[in-house]
Amino acid sequence: MKNSFRFKALRDNHFNEFDSAVVFKTKAWPHAELYELIAFAQHYGVWTEFLDWTKSPLVACYFAASQAIKQPSFDDLLSVWIFDTEKENLLSNGTEKNFEIIEVPKSANQNISSQLGCFTLVRQNLVRGTALTFEQKPKRIKQLKLLNELVADKKIQALLKISLPQKYAAELLQYCSAYSINAATIFRGIEGAAIYAKESFDIEAFRRKVTSSI
C-alpha cells in the first residue's frame, strides 16, 4: 500500500510539472528519473523517444538479420548503424543538451544486460502549440528530429551504415550463433527459448526460399 501511495505521488508530481513547465520547454522532457521506466515500457512495445542500441556488434547483426528473414522478399539490404560515442558532446549546444546516451540499471531488465543495451535520446525543441503529423512511411512524427537529422544539422560525421544483401541473413545468424549470440542467449528465460525454437524454423524456410530462387 505504501508503494501505491508513493507511485501516485510521483505520478501526480510529473503530471503537474508537465503542465507547468514542459509545455513551455520541451527539451526538459523526459526527466532522468523516468529513464528506467521508459526503457521498461519500450521493452514491452510502448513507443517512446528512446532509440535502442547495443555495444555488441554481433548483437546488432543478430537483430538486423533476424528481422530480415521475416521479410517477404530478400532483394533488399539489411543494415547495421554505428554511432561514434566520442562525438556525443558535439551534438549539444554548450550546457543545453540536444542528445544523450542513456544507461539504465541492468538488474531490473535482464534483456538489457544480455544484449549489452543502451539508448539514445534526441531532446526536442518544439514551439508550444505545434501541430504534430504522423507519417506512415517511415513510421514517425514528422516534427520530431531524428538522430541522423541532428547529425546532419551539426555537420559532423558520427554515424556509419553497414549493409549486406538480405539473402545472406541466415548465414549471418549462423555466424552470430557460433559466438553464442542467438535468441536463447539475448532473450532470457522461457521467452528466449520459444523465440529460438520459432526462429530455427524461420531460418530453414528462408534458406529454402533463397536456394529455390537460384
- Among all chains, which residue has been given the C-alpha cell 529455390? 212
CA distances from 192 to 63, 187, 203 (A): 13, 4, 16
Q: Would you write out the chain's pLDDT as a tens digit for each of its 214 residues?
A: 445 666 677 667 666 666 555 666 777 778 888 899 899 888 888 888 899 999 999 999 999 999 999 987 888 999 999 999 999 999 988 777 889 999 998 876 788 889 999 999 998 877 777 777 888 777 787 778 889 999 999 999 999 999 999 999 999 999 999 999 999 999 988 989 999 999 999 999 999 999 988 7
Q: Which of 79, 102, 67 has its CA nearest to residue 195?
A: 67
Distance CA 78, CA 98 (A): 29
What's residue 4's pLDDT? 61
Distance CA 185, CA 168 (A): 22
What's residue 72's pLDDT? 79
What's residue 110's pLDDT? 80
What residue spans define the domains of the chain? 31-213
Coil vs helix vs strand at 20: helix
What's residue 1's pLDDT? 43
* Largest separation between any pair of C-alpha atoms in the chain: 64
Distance CA 174, CA 124 (A): 40
DSSP designation for 106: S
